[in-house]
């Protein structure tokens, strides 16, 4: 049995935030000899990887990201296009010049694992590196590990967008926002970081289908989430 599953013990069940999932996907990639990974949502068009999507995870080199200049990564790249019609994991070792992404990071091999949420949103985990193509058995284990991590990622992070209702912490933050407190002030009051407070606000905005704090407070008042 390949060693890919070594980290899927307690660490998987304990993962709660994006940092934890970054660690898990990175361990999966490195454990199989791949230097880089990127988990991204597969769009309908050939628009590349939108690194600004809040659910993207990757350890791509900064030089590649800086070169993209905020634009989607790999638009028109054949390597990316190949993952759209695929529903099974596969690996490729294209020749030099066949993929700008591989060339840019000096990788020779890529494997792609298509992933799906229960709401039929499509994601893909790509691993890139300079090792050879894995055997089918190894690819199967990687695909299973990736699916298990992704399922946990969905349960802990992605599904928050579709869960109705707010948890106690979110209600606290909406309530303080309705009192006119800023994120920094709420962070001090609740003993959290400003990043965490903004993360809660971003989640509440998505849950309530609103785009700013005023709408968030108004929506919460109207629906009786806060008095």
Binding mask 187-216 for other proteins (x = CB under 8 A): xx--xxxxxx-xx-xx--x-----xxxx--
Using the rule CB under 8 A, which residue among 3, 6, 16, 88 binds other proteins? 16
Residue 181: φ, ψ to 5°: -80, 145
Using the rule CB under 8 A, which residue among 8, 18, 84, 147 binds other proteins? 18
> Per CB under 8 A, which of residues 96..115 are in contact with other proteins?
none
In sequence order, what are the residues at sequence separation of 6 or more whose Cβ sits closer than 8 angstroms to the Cβ of residue 99?
Answer: 74, 77, 78, 79, 110
* Nearest-angstrom CA–CA distance, 86 and 102: 19
Using the rule CB under 8 A, which residue among 5, 42, 51, 226 binds other proteins? 51
Closest CA to 14 of 27, 6, 3, 24: 24
Binding mask 28-47 for other proteins (x = CB under 8 A): --------------------
In whole angstroms, how far apart are CA 210 and each of 196, 202, 205?
Answer: 19, 10, 5
Closest to other proteins by CB, 39 or 139 = 39
**In whole angstroms, how close is the CB of 108 to other proteins at the nearest point?**
19
Closest to other proteins by CB, 118 or 184 = 184
Q: Which of these segments, 58-66, 91-99, 121-129, 130-138, binds other proteins (CB under 8 A)?
A: 58-66
Give the angle subtended at the CA of 169 by the CAs of 166 and 172, to the nearest 5°: 90
Closest to other proteins by CB, 53 or 159 = 53
Using the rule CB under 8 A, which residue among 53, 63, 86, 159 binds other proteins? 63
Contact by Cβ (8 Å): 78, 99: yes
* Pair of tokens at residue 50: 């939108």
Q: Which of these segments, 7-15, 73-81, 110-118, 152-160, binds other proteins (CB under 8 A)?
A: 7-15
DSSP collapsed to 3 states, 66-128? HHHCCCCECCCCHHHHCCCCCCCCEEECCCCCCCHHHHHHCCCEEEEEEEECCCCCEEEEEEE
Residue 14 interacts with other proteins (CB under 8 A): yes or no? yes
* Nearest-angstrom CA–CA distance, 210 and 217: 10
> Per CB under 8 A, which of residues 163..182 are in contact with other proteins?
180, 182
User: Interface residues with other proteins (CB under 8 A)?
Assistant: 10-11, 14, 16-20, 22-23, 26-27, 51-52, 54, 59, 61-63, 65-66, 180, 182-184, 187-188, 191-196, 198-199, 201-202, 205, 211-214, 217
């Amino acid at each position: 049995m390949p060693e890919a599953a070594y980290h899927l013990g307690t660490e998987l069940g304990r993962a709660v935030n994006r940092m934890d999932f970054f660690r898990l996907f990175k361990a999966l990639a490195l454990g199989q000899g791949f230097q880089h990974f990127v988990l991204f949502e597969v769009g309908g068009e050939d628009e590349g990887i939108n690194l600004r999507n809040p659910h993207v995870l990757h350890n791509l080199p900064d030089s590649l990201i800086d070169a993209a200049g905020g634009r989607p990564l790999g638009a028109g790249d054949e390597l990316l296009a190949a993952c759209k019609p695929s529903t099974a994991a596969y690996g490729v070792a294209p020749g030099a010049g066949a993929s700008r992404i591989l060339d840019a990071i000096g990788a020779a091999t890529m494997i792609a694992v298509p992933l799906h949420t229960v709401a039929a949103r499509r994601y893909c985990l790509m691993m890139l590196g300079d090792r050879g193509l894995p055997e089918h058995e190894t690819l199967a284990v990687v695909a299973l590990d990736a699916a298990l991590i992704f399922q946990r990622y969905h349960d802990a992070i992605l599904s928050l967008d579709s869960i109705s209702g707010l948890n106690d912490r979110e209600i606290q933050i909406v309530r303080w926002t309705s009192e006119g407190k800023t994120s920094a002030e709420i962070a001090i009051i609740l003993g959290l970081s400003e990043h965490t407070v903004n993360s809660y606000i971003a989640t509440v905005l998505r849950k309530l289908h609103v785009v700013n704090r005023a709408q968030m407070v108004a929506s919460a008042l109207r629906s009786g989430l806060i008095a």
